[in-house]
Amino acid sequence: MSAVADSRKKVLEAVNMATGAATGAGTAGSATRNAAATAGKAAEVPAEIPRGYVRRGDMTASARHERFVERLREYDAEVVECEPEGLAAAIAAQLAASGRRTFVAPEGLPAAWLAPGFDWKIDGNLEVRDVEQAEGVVTACFCGVADSGTIVLHHGPAEGRRVITLLPDWHLCIVRASQVVETLPEYFDRCAIRDQRSETRDQGAEKLPALVTWISGPSATADIEMTRIKGVHGPRFLNVILVRD
């Protein structure tokens, strides 16, 4: 136990010594240079991070949705759009077209989405084997990012535990158009950290959960000759319904 405490002290001491007294470059290690480097340490580090990158997009809502769909399709995800009142029917159609029967749904999934005529396993605390045997899964999401075609799961009640969107081979994700932001930083604005003092966060920001998963298309690999192959260990099929709410 004492060896462990020693290592902590050793590493931190080495780090603090290094940052407290950064020496001059290579051969130019003269005393004056060292002193200047130490004194000027604070000045070397930018007081504020230059965040000159695009934080907020300027697209119209329809252009934003179009981009989201287009980028998802580039990842080989299948996307359909529907009106809020047509959602239940759209889900049923997707399930039927998939040719699968057994689906997992997270506890918080709206009852209207559980289309009749299929076997539903509702996940509260399903065994891994049960999840693995399901052929597909239906979930909601926290957010969609148009710029990179990314779906963000915060694993809330309608998004479910991480395992249910991992083992089944087919994932149907319902994204409401109002959840789609244009840029990645806009998603970050929707997340609140416990001791966050930044004013840039959105008013309605939700507390960042302990578990977050971003999904950008079906699982894939490019490990063989840099050729992108769809479907390795995660779901091989990602289907998305974009609800124009």
Write out the binding residues for other proteins, residues 182-201 only, by CB under 8 A. Answer: 184-185, 187-188, 191, 193, 195, 198
- Minimum Å distance from CB 29 to other proteins? 9
Could you tell me the CA-to-CA distances from 187 to 6, 36, 143 in Å, in that order? 41, 42, 7
- Minimum Å distance from CB 93 to other proteins? 26
- The reply on whether position 26 binds other proteins by CB under 8 A is yes
- The reply on whether position 35 binds other proteins by CB under 8 A is no
- The reply on whether position 136 binds other proteins by CB under 8 A is no
Using the minimum distance from each CB to other proteins, give the nearer residue, 44 or 85.
44
Phi, psi of 2 (to 5 degrees): -70, -30
- The reply on whether position 54 binds other proteins by CB under 8 A is yes
d(CA 210, CA 226): 33
Hey, which residues between 201 and 230 contact other proteins (CB under 8 A)? 208, 210-227, 229
DSSP labels for 61-87? Answer: HHHHHHHHHHHHHHTT-EEEEE-GGGH
Give bridge partners of residue 237 from the DSSP assignment: 170
* Both structure tokens of 91: 């889900």
Binds other proteins by CB under 8 A, chosen from 1, 39, 45, 111: 45
d(CA 81, CA 137): 19
Using the minimum distance from each CB to other proteins, give the nearer residue, 136 or 217.
217
- Minimum Å distance from CB 95 to other proteins? 22
Cα angle, residue 155 at apex, residues 165 and 67 outer, rounded to 5°:
75
- The reply on whether position 16 binds other proteins by CB under 8 A is yes
- The reply on whether position 117 binds other proteins by CB under 8 A is no
One-letter amino acid for residue 143 of the chain: C
One-letter amino acid for residue 233 of the chain: H
One-letter amino acid for residue 155 of the chain: H
How many of the chain's residues bind other proteins (CB under 8 A)? Answer: 79
Binds other proteins by CB under 8 A, chosen from 104, 147, 173, 182: 147
Hey, which residues between 72 and 101 contact other proteins (CB under 8 A)? 75
- The reply on whether position 52 binds other proteins by CB under 8 A is yes
Using the minimum distance from each CB to other proteins, give the nearer residue, 94 or 219.
219
- The reply on whether position 1 binds other proteins by CB under 8 A is no
* Both structure tokens of 233: 């260990």
Q: How many CB atoms lie within 10 A of CB 76?
A: 15
Answer whether 141's CB lies under 8 Å from 174's CB.
Answer: yes
Using the minimum distance from each CB to other proteins, give the nearer residue, 24 or 108.
24
Using the minimum distance from each CB to other proteins, give the nearer residue, 87 or 219.
219
Look up residue 31 and give its DSSP letter.
H
